[in-house]
Amino acid sequence: MLRVLSWNINGIRSPLQGMIYEEPSNCAAMAVERILDKLDADIVCLQETKVTRDVLTEPLAIIEGYNSYFSFSRNRSGYSGVATFCKDSATPMAAEEGLSGLLATHNGDVGCYGNMDEFTQEELRALDSEGRALLTQHKIRTWEGKEKTLTLINVYCPRADAGKPERLSFKMRFYRLLQIRAEALLAAGSHVIILGDLNTAHRPIDHWDAVNLERFEEDPGRKWMDGLLSNLGCQAGSHVRPFIDSYRCFQPNQEGAFTCWSAVSGARHLNYGSRLDYVLGDRTLVIDTFQDSFRLPEVMGSDHCPVGAVLSVSSVPAKQCPPLCTRFLPEFAGTQLKIRRFLVCLKQDPVCKQSALRLSKQTQVQMHQNKARVRSTRPRPSQAGSSRGQKNLTSYFQPSSNRPQASPILELPSVGALMTPKTLEEEVMAKVVEGQASASEAKDEKEVRTSFWKSVLGGPLPMPLCGGHREPCVMRTVKKPGPNLGRHFYMCARPQGPPTDPSSRCNFFLWSRPS
């Protein structure tokens, strides 16, 4: 059996909190290794790795028992990116980055590009510059003993942004390039699996709110998927499309089979999401070899969940990994020069060593002489009583000598001497009264001080209660560009869910007053 799996991991360097293992781990490389072990797939395709080659570390790229392949974004750091990890028992015979062939090295590449005359060179380079596609080609053996070729296309398709119309055009051109390459591989005799995050919910059953979305069926991405995918029940005489959605092949009417949820709104708690991740296989491969297609919503750590399929074939590993394998990168293969290579101490000639030592001693003597000369030229601090010396701080608080002297004060008898001596009891009572007075003054002073700081540091106001559940709200900040950018508002703290579900978030909204 061959088990393939796809997962939009939303950052391969993150700790992946909530992953299926219990013990915490601060090491990203160890986390990835445990993920691969827990998922237990022969081929694991990851999307949105958000890593570029300059920050990729050896422990993260080279996992024992696997050979890995990465595609990086050329334009932005911490953006996009895909990676494929293959067990050593499923080592590919070829691997290639990108769909257009412009990134191919012509050594161990997959090939079969099809007719791309409708694209300009600049357009092809732009489509492959974001690190969204990675191909690995494997040799498989069926139960009849026949060996065939299987090409996996690991893709992270662009997302259409309503505020950026050019991204919709970019997405559709990427779809078109993907289809041309996949059909060219099919025409060359290879079986093909397209798996990854396609960023489109194909049918209304694949989206939580398709009924309320305007012109759901008219979306260009859904129309493209209609032209790519065929139903299993298509007759031979009808127009048979090349690929099949493997999950809908096994679960045609399963509702709520979502793979992506909004992490901000907590929509996963109520399964309020959409199905964006797919395992698409060519029609012959799905009918003959697919035993199951599944999703793993219990696996946490990302806003997506893994999806995969099981094929009734065995992998025939290649004898050697293709050149794209990360273990062959210069920084990991030991062939890249390190900066330490240029800082190695060289053996010196004894004569040169003695002359250098003599020069060093002369330099030290010269430095001591310069220091002594500087000390002799410095002005010495003035002696006590000198008018030009540095004044002491207390001198500013002494009476000036040029002020007229006050007349001598006559010595008067003290008040205590004129008063009648108190008895011991009276002295004790006087001390008690004096202590109570001082305590009362200290208490009054403390109360005044406390009331002052309370007025200055009043603390946050209590959260308002939402209208639907009468529960404390949460404060959010507007991040969308516009006149309200940066403003705070209150909304229901419950997770997002269907409007008919009373346990989901209500539509309470209240602007926060400026402080």
CB 155 within 8 A of CB 133: yes
**For residue 124, what is the DSSP state?**
H
Q: For tokens 């990168």, what's the residue?
A: 329
Cβ 38 vs Cβ 21: under 8 Å: yes
Q: Is 197 annotated as a binding residue?
A: yes
Strand partners, 304: 260
507 known member of a binding site: no
Q: Which of the 8 DSSP states describes residue 217? A: G
Residue 425, annotated ligand binder? Answer: no
- Does an H or E element contain 83, and which? strand 82-87
Q: Which residue has the tokens 């080659």?
A: 53
How many residues appear in the chain? Answer: 515
Is residue 272 flagged as an active site residue? no
User: Measured between alpha carbons, how far is 293 from 285 in angstroms, rounded to an integer?
Assistant: 13
Choice among 138, 191, 207, 304 that is catalytic:
304
Taking the C-alpha atoms of residue 151 and residue 187, their distance in angstroms, rounded to an integer, is 12
Is 117 known to sit in a ligand binding site?
Answer: no
- Catalytic residue from among 109, 197, 206, 282: 197
Instruction: Write down the number of H helices and E strands in the chain.
Output: 11, 18
| Longest alpha-carbon distance in the chain | 131
| Residues paired with residue 476 on neighbouring β-strands, in sequence order | 489
39: left (phi over 0), alpha (psi -120 to 50) or beta: alpha
- Closest C-alpha among 515, 514, 501, 508 to residue 472: 508
The contacts of residue 153 (CB under 8 Å, 6+ apart) are: 99, 133, 134, 135, 178, 181, 182, 192, 193, 194, 195, 196
Compute the distance between CA of residue 305 and CA of residue 6 in angstroms, rounded to an integer: 9
Is residue 199 marked as binding?
yes
Distance CA 178, CA 197 (A): 13
Note if 156 is an active site residue.
yes
Return the exposure string of 84-93: e unless at least 16 CB atoms fall within 10 Å of the residue's CB, then b.
bbbbeebbbb
Determine whether 245 is an active site residue.
Answer: no
Distance CA 142, CA 355 (A): 77
The whole-angstrom separation of Cα 108 and Cα 93 is 7
Query: Is position 231 annotated in a ligand binding site?
Result: no
Q: What phi and psi, each to the nearest 5 degrees, are found at residue 404?
A: -65, 135
DSSP 8-state assignment for residue 223: H
Spatial separation of the C-alpha atoms in residues 243 and 227, rounded to whole Å: 9
Could you say which of 66, 69, 113, 156 is catalytic? Answer: 156
* DSSP annotation of 400: P
**Residues with active-site annotation:** 156, 197, 304
Tell me the binding residues for Mg(2+).
8, 48, 197, 199, 303-304
Q: Which residue numbers belong to the known binding site?
A: 8, 48, 197, 199, 303-304
